[in-house]
Amino acid sequence: LSPSNGTASTALTNYLDTQYFGEIIIGSPAQMFNVVFDTGSANLWVPSQSCSPLYTACFTHNRYDASKSLTHIHNGTGFSIQYASGNVRGFLSEDIVGGIPVVQVFAEATALPAVPFIFAKFDGVLGMGYPDMAIDGITPVFDRIMSQDVLKEQVFSVYYSRDPQRIPGGQLLLGGTESKYYTGTFNYVHTKGEGKWEVTMKGVSVGMETLFCTEGCTAMIDTGSSFITGPASSVSVLMRTIGAVELAEGEYTVNCDLVMSLPIVAFHLGGQAYPLTQEDYILRFGEDICTVTFRALDIPPPTGPVWILGANFIARYYTKFDRRNNRIGFAQAA
Ligand SMILES: CCc1nc(N)nc(N)c1-c1ccc2c(c1)N(CCCOC)[C@H](c1ccccc1)CC2
């Protein structure tokens, strides 16, 4: 993250269109980590040198070694965070983070469950959510950067490529938008104003019919999720409508020969429809396995019920997260 004309850009790696992450450095001398820049959470954590080697997932990732950093400041407060796909426990530390030097309180993870972190191609997570979402009331990285007044705009934009071979696999741009990653203009939707990257969705349509969320519902725009998730009741009907079969818990596949005949699924946000074609919501693993990138996921109140629009949505719609105006902008991704 090196600020130039009031913006700072980080290239992202795209792993199989399902994981997108970029590099940050922590401490002096610099220790490098791959992290997901995650709008669904608001804390920074990386695996810790003091994570027991019994946790295979720690063993197979870069670990922060406090004893090797001259700028490390001890904290030691307990930390635990819950994601839809797994949770992480550890303790707090403080050190210099990133190219834009911010002194940041972050968590050293000492308990990293093998499922799912053994599948993570990244080491840790850098939450890009609002401060209200931050565990232990820690000021998030982006808030610390905003308070340095180095950014042209108090926004950040996310490009996720739709082809794992494409270089770069994506981009996080702090302070503005990158014109080469979108076409047309931005349509904006205001956040629900509860300190989350959440908006009111007006409906989910399959083909010409609005079948779900017909009375309105909540959608989280989540750069940390691979897929689109929705309430199990809606997603199971959606899957039956497109002829998908449930493979594992909440996971669906379709016969690859039928992919061409699949309907358009559209998400109605802020007076605009955001359609996904079968190319956008089918992942082809090899010749004959076509998985649907919608997952059934019931998130209990008060957080849920909520639809989560993840990487496969963002790959189609270049997304601008606007903290100045508490709104999210979408444009056709290039
Ligand atoms: C980024 C943190 C996070 N933040 C939010 N808001 N939601 C969720 N679900 C995650 C999360 C936690 C853990 C893992 C994850 C995602 N993964 C997906 C990366 C998505 O990269 C964009 C990978 C994966 C592989 C196999 C099966 C399930 C998941 C590794 C494990």
Return the residue whose CA atom lies nearest to atom 2 of ligand 1: 224
Q: Please tell me the predicted confidence (pLDDT) of residue 284.
A: 87
Residues 6+ apart with CB under 8 A from 82: none
The pLDDT value recorded for residue 1 is: 53
- Whole-number Å distance between alpha carbons of 325 and 209: 33
Residue 167 CA: distances (Å) to CA of 11, 263, 283: 9, 30, 19
**pLDDT value at residue 279:** 93
Closest ligand 1 atom to residue 310 Cα is 22
Would you call the peptide bond into 164 cis, given omega within 30 degrees of 0 as the criterion? no
Tell me the ipTM for this assembly: 0.99
Residues with CB under 6 A from ligand 1: 19-20, 36, 38, 40-41, 83-86, 116-117, 119-120, 125, 222, 224-226, 311
Q: How many CB atoms lie within 10 A of CB 132?
A: 11
Q: Are 208 and 274 in contact (CB under 8 A)?
A: no
User: Could you tell which of 15, 17, 19 is best to mutate to test the pocket of ligand 1, judged by most ligand atoms within 8 Å of the CB?
Assistant: 19
222 is catalytic: yes
Q: How far is the CA of 246 from the centre of ligand 1 (A)?
A: 21
3-class SS of residue 314:
helix
Q: pLDDT per position in the chain (334 positions), as tens?
A: 556 789 999 999 999 999 999 999 999 999 999 999 999 999 999 999 999 988 999 999 999 999 999 999 999 999 999 998 889 999 999 999 986 789 999 999 999 999 999 999 999 999 999 999 999 999 999 999 999 999 999 999 999 999 989 999 999 999 999 999 999 999 999 999 889 999 999 999 999 999 999 999 999 999 999 999 999 999 999 999 999 998 888 789 999 998 999 999 999 999 999 999 999 999 987 778 899 999 999 999 988 999 999 999 999 999 999 999 999 999 999 9
Pairing of strands 19-26, 73-83: unpaired
The pLDDT of residue 5 is 87
Name the helix (H) or strand (E) containing 141.
helix 141-146
* pTM score: 0.97
Separation of 226 CA from ligand 1 center, angstroms? 7
